[in-house]
Amino acid sequence: MKLKQRLVVLCAVLLLLGLVKVFLLDGGEGTAAGRRDLRAFRKMESSLALVKGAQLTHTLQSPWEVAAQWVGPREVYPDDTPELAAVLSALATARVERADVGYKGTQLKALLVLDGGQKVVFKPKRYSRDFVVEGEPYAGYDRHNAEIAAFHLDRILGFRRAPLVVGRFVNLRTEIKPVATDQLLSTFLKHGNNSCFYGKCYYCRESEPACAEGDVMEGSVTLWLPDVWPLQKHRHPWGRTYREGKLARWEYDESYCEAVKKMPPYDSGPRLLDVIDTAIFDYLIGNADRHHYESFQDDGGASMLILLDNAKSFGNPALDERSILAPLYQCCMVRVSTWNRLNLLRGGVLSSAMRQATAHDPAFPVLTEPHLAALDRRLNGVLATIRQCIETQGPDSTLIEDRMDLPHP
């Protein structure tokens, strides 16, 4: 056989092997990695529904001690968490010992301390479920139900990088005001028969308070991460400028990812793939506001990108902001485990899983049907983007085997 013919045959074999890899991965069952990911998916499915009002019965530890022990360099909670329902139930019902203005930021929140000394962040309801936030994809107030839905999406995707969140109803008159600091109390007011507060933050205004229905306010409660895991803040390499007429480099330079790959911590370790996972997560929830992100301190780039502050999500179910996916389509790489999980969520499985995961949350229904449909539609967009990368540069360059299962300290 002539050299030219041998090269043609070799190229054909390599192409066939690549197509086989894509086919097997697309099905999620044909490789060892695919079978492993399928088992993890089935395990997630079986633990998705949470029992309302669950309590810890087999341990003398508090719910807060249990949750604190879950945290590791690469996960906020493990894949096997039979106590999760009990911890969320405690978050939704534990007595409030102290209430203060929220930590620094642009949006209204309150810092609560629950029975046993556990700090949580309370974000109040600002919109009805079917309200559509118009304008820029990062417009509007924080959405408390978005925090709840984002936590459960983190569970469904198998990332396990989001702090625990649950819906909660608090009575401002009997639960909050008696234990509130003077700083928080000074921001309370009445609108008719409704109790309101406006807190302290960059955009907090007395003219724009959050109001309860009577004295009872709906909101979300986010579990504060343990103090033994201090956070480090990073500027997101694909952050927006938030200035009209001024573009960030990634918005006009299609080779921008190559520059990012040369910068620490993206030049080695799992961080760049975490950024791409986060882009997929943010696109699904419609979050175009991740200008910074947090990891654990002194991690040498090995810590996960923690999925904090997801409340600028689920604002407009009709808007699919493709620019959120820029890290994915500019770098054209994604974890094999993420690709496999996304394929297992096709055909309405994602929205069905979200319904099941949130069915027993105190703030149910967490999402409206248009937002659930948007999850399935956006998932198809993510899969199409990855397939396009596979077609242009091949599966070996696109689908990256990277499983950073670091042991707990």
- On whether both 346 and 258 belong to a single domain, the answer is yes
What total of structural domains would you count in the chain? 2
> What is the model's pTM?
0.91
pLDDT of residue 6: 52
Is 224 flagged in the annotation as binding?
A: yes
- On whether both 208 and 66 belong to a single domain, the answer is yes
Structure tokens at 11: 């190229």
What distance in Å separates the CA atoms of residue 102 and residue 202, rounded to the nearest whole number? 11
Out of 158, 191, 223, pick the residue that ends a domain: 223
- On whether both 212 and 236 belong to a single domain, the answer is no
Is 309 flagged in the annotation as binding?
A: yes
- On whether both 257 and 190 belong to a single domain, the answer is no
Chunked mean pLDDT (size 10), the chain, 409 residues: 50 44 51 84 88 85 96 94 95 98 88 97 97 91 97 98 98 98 96 96 94 98 96 95 92 96 94 97 97 88 93 97 98 97 97 97 98 98 98 96 55
CB 175 within 8 A of CB 320: no
What distance in Å separates the CA atoms of residue 333 and residue 275, rounded to the nearest whole number? 11
Is 225 flagged in the annotation as binding?
A: yes
- On whether both 254 and 172 belong to a single domain, the answer is no
Residue 392's domain comprises 231-240+247-400
Residue 395 lies in a domain: yes
- On whether both 255 and 207 belong to a single domain, the answer is no
User: Any idea what the Cα angle at residue 385 is, between residues 382 and 390, rounded to 5°?
Assistant: 125
- On whether both 206 and 236 belong to a single domain, the answer is no
Residue 5 lies in a domain: no
Does residue 119 come out as left (phi exceeding 0), alpha (psi in the -120 to 50 range) or beta? beta
pLDDT of residue 233: 94
**For residue 299, how many C-alpha atoms fall within 13 Å in the half-sphere facing its CB?**
27
Residue 23 lies in a domain: no
- On whether both 124 and 187 belong to a single domain, the answer is yes
- For residues 86-121, b (16+ Cβ closer than 10 Å) or e, as one string? bbbbbbbebebeebbbbeeeebbbbbbbbeeebbbb
CB 55 within 8 A of CB 367: no
Residue 15 lies in a domain: no
Residue 326 lies in a domain: yes
pLDDT of residue 4: 54
Is 107 flagged in the annotation as binding?
A: yes
- On whether both 140 and 90 belong to a single domain, the answer is yes
- On whether both 186 and 253 belong to a single domain, the answer is no
Most distant CA atoms of the chain, gap in Å: 90
Residue 22 lies in a domain: no
CB 43 within 8 A of CB 158: no
Q: How many residues does the chain have?
A: 409
**For residue 163, how many C-alpha atoms fall within 13 Å in the half-sphere facing its CB?**
23
- Active site annotation includes 405: no
pLDDT of residue 20: 43
- On whether both 164 and 267 belong to a single domain, the answer is no
Dihedral of CA 238/242/244/246: which sign? Answer: negative
- On whether both 71 and 207 belong to a single domain, the answer is yes
What distance in Å separates the CA atoms of residue 291 and residue 308, rounded to the nearest whole number? 12
Contacts of 67 (CB under 8 A, 6+ apart): 77, 87, 164, 223
Residue 254 lies in a domain: yes
What distance in Å separates the CA atoms of residue 124 and residue 210, rounded to the nearest whole number? 7
pLDDT of residue 408: 44
User: Any idea what the Cα angle at residue 334 is, between residues 261 and 380, rounded to 5°?
Assistant: 135
| Closest to 25 measured CA to CA, from 383, 343, 266, 292 | 343
Residue 35 lies in a domain: no
SS3 182: helix
> Among 37, 154, 289, 376, which one carries the catalytic annotation?
289
SS3 371: helix
